[in-house]
Amino acid sequence: MDTVLKFTSQNQGKDRVFRAAQFACALSTHLLRSNSNRKDLVAKLKSLEANLNAGRKVFRLGNTVNSIEAAKRSMQLSDRVLSLCLTAANVNRALYFICDNVLWAINAGLIRGLDKQSWSTSASRCYLLSLIISLARDFYVVLQLMVQRAKDKQFRREMMRHLNEGPEVAEAVVPHLDALLFLLLASLKSHPAVALDTLKNICDLFIPLDKLGIYSSNAGTVAFCGLVSSMIGIITYTKPSLSIKP
């Protein structure tokens, strides 16, 4: 078990770099698709994107075990809401990786007779559920931060000073909306790890939504969101202080 966890830990950084490169190729392909002089380059980018995607599947072969172990750890958290959200998200992530591994085996010719499209749809559904639950966890953490921040007397004085500087803004919009936005932004600014994780999950959400046909986006939008998410993943991997905990 420790060997598998060590293997997946070592490959996480490589997977994130490959993921960023894959979406960068997809975005470039979308931007150059109408340029007749770049047909050869577009073909090469599509080929590179496919190879990067195949390489990433190898890096993720042990991630199911890693997700299961993460689910076991999250079950021990004292905060029941966090425990429920993280456990459910990790279980769905484990199911996603199982489907992803089966798809890799089908593409590699190791398994025959299975419906590739069915497994791909199941993988997207598990991925979508994992992201939705992860976002619920992010919103819960943000709400907690906002409540804690609102109780701080010094912050309340700063907020009142901000509102007094432009009272016409607060009166022109919905009452207290300006104060709520000020509180939200201040909470996220003081906890960048939460802000980055929320942004990452929102960007990732477009990928399964598009694949499942729930909310169709063009290839450029999906690629851009995937690239932003991948860059955040690389940043949080290289700087663990920016990674949300637990």
What pLDDT is recorded for position 167? 54
What pLDDT is recorded for position 108? 84
Mean pLDDT score of the chain: 88
Which of the residue ranges 59-73, 154-168, 191-205 would you say has the lowest mean pLDDT?
154-168
pLDDT of 43 > 90? The answer is yes
Residue 187 is which amino acid?
A: S
Report which of residues 117 and 8 the model is more confident about.
117
The domain spans of the chain are 2-136+193-242
Which of the residue ranges 40-44, 90-94, 152-156, 182-186 would you say has the lowest mean pLDDT?
152-156
| Percentage of the residues of the chain whose pLDDT score is greater than 90 | 65
> What would the mean pLDDT of 50-63 be, rounded to a whole number?
86
Predicted TM-score (pTM) of the model is 0.89
What pLDDT is recorded for position 241? 93
Chain centre to alpha carbon of residue 71: 17
Please state, as a whole number, how many other Cβ atoms lie within 10 Å of the Cβ of residue 244. 19
Which positions ≥6 away from 215 have C-beta within 8 Å?
206, 209
d(CA 54, CA 107): 9
Which of the residue ranges 42-46, 127-131, 178-182 would you say has the lowest mean pLDDT?
178-182
What pLDDT is recorded for position 8? 53
d(CA 245, CA 76): 14
Say which residue the tokens 């890096």 belong to.
59
What pLDDT is recorded for position 37? 87
d(CA 65, CA 97): 9
What pLDDT is recorded for position 109? 87
pLDDT band at 172 (very low <50, low <70, confident <90, very high): very low
What pLDDT is recorded for position 25? 97
Which of the residue ranges 62-66, 117-121, 188-192, 222-226 would you say has the lowest mean pLDDT?
62-66
